[in-house]
Amino acid sequence: MIKKHYLFVLTLLASITIGCSHDENQGTAYQPNYLPSLDATNLPVGNRPITMFEDDENPSKMYDKTDRWFRVNQPLQIIQKGKDSVQISLYSPVGLSDVKIYAKLPNYEKRFLIYNFTKIPAFHRSSHQIPLVTGKNDYLLETGNTVTIDKIEGFSTGAIEFSVESTDPLFAKLKKIKSSRLVQFNDAYHVNELGKFLPMNPVLAKEAITMIINYSYALSHPIYYDTFTNFDKYKQEQATLAGTAVDGALNWHGNAEDVDGVYDYFSKAVIEKTYINYIDNRTVYLAMVGGAAALGGGPLASQWESGYVAGHWRGDMSVWSHEYSHHSGYGHSSNLANSGQGGGQQEMLTQFYKYLIHLDDLPFTNPDVLKGWTKTKYLTGTYSKPIFTINPKNPFLLKYKGTGKWN
């Protein structure tokens, strides 16, 4: 079958031509000259490559909310800097391979490959000139065809849109995260209430980032959604397995005080909104406590040092779930933020998180990627390598029997 050569011309701040390969019998096919691949583990000094959250990095960099932030569903961050450059940051304890960054211009409907990274290491940041401003280049379209774009002098903010694709299995997991919480660190808590809150250092920050990405994946998981929106069924199944009646509250309820077993139960519509509330795009400030209790509320969600260093690797997420629920607006009277009344979200989420570790169905399940417990210079406690085990009576293990992995 003969393939024809098509040529289109568009006006887009410059001349753009699109060409498809054609049969050799029709003449010499156009041979595109694409930009070379990049290995972010070996970039020149001009790209200003750094590793964020180095153990001995000044914590003030971590607390710079204009510079260190990311959304949990976009741990690989591409930000335009000025009219001709981008900054690439990966908020992940594990690097990515085969990363393709596409660009899209306002009056051209197709995406084209602008950077092709063979490797991006963990917690990497670097700067890259937008090749469109350097001269005429060939680019691979997402359709497999080629586009040739003349030099463009520069881009105003938002005039070029970036998106990411990768064949890396880790990226496939990260892309499933529905939550879009904006993650930042805030020193106001320990500055104003030192003792109750302690400063967080980069060692703990890396653990916190790992935990919040895992946690966000768990919140987004289809099994979590199904269980959360059918909590009454979950409780009934637990009672049946235990051979008892349903204990305490039958379903999710709000912050009103229980009056002799009468709860302000949520309707199905409110339960659905409550789930969305857990995965929306609000800001969460990650902090560390040093007092007798972790705290949450407003943008704050906090954890003890041991929870950051070892607890989340073992699936001990009860405290974090509790404080995150306060951050999401629920008080101690609601079973969304307590484990009483025959079991609430603390218990359910912890059991589910452990089941996901058992399935190896979280983005990160190997504590060796950080080895936080070995960074004794930066810790107040002494820890050993966290070892995960699952209770054979875990309700998700009993129900799903090793199935349910998010493929």
pLDDT at 258: 87
Please report, for the chain, the start and end positions of each structural domain, with discontinuous segments joined by +. Answer: 8-167, 182-400
Long-range contacts of 11-16 (CB under 8 A, 24+ apart): 11/107, 12/105, 12/107, 12/108, 12/149, 13/105, 13/152, 13/153, 14/149, 14/150, 14/151, 14/152, 15/149, 15/150, 16/108, 16/147, 16/148, 16/149, 16/150
Who's near 194: CB < 8 A, 6+ residues apart? none
pLDDT at 28: 57
pLDDT at 16: 52
Question: What type of residue sits at position 21?
Answer: S
Model confidence, pTM: 0.92
Kindly write down the DSSP assignment for every residue of 151-219, as one continuous string. ------TTSSEEEEEE--HHHHHHHT----PEEEE-THHHHHSBTTEE---HHHHHHHHHHHHHHHHHH
* Residue 266 in tokens: 């949520």
Mean of per-residue pLDDT scores for the chain: 91
pLDDT tens, per residue, the chain with 407 residues = 222 233 333 334 444 544 443 333 334 578 899 999 999 999 999 999 999 999 999 999 999 999 999 999 999 999 999 999 999 999 999 999 999 999 999 888 899 999 999 999 999 999 999 999 999 999 999 999 999 999 998 898 888 999 999 999 999 999 999 999 999 999 999 999 999 999 999 999 999 999 999 999 999 999 999 999 999 999 999 889 888 888 889 999 999 988 888 999 999 999 999 999 999 999 999 999 998 789 999 999 999 999 999 999 999 999 999 999 999 999 999 999 987 776 799 999 999 999 999 999 999 999 999 999 999 999 999 999 999 999 999 999 999 999 999 98
* Residue 241 in tokens: 């397995």
For the sheet containing 76-81, what is the strand order?
Answer: 50-51, 124-129, 85-90, 76-81
Q: Which helix (H) or strand (E) holds 395?
A: helix 395-400
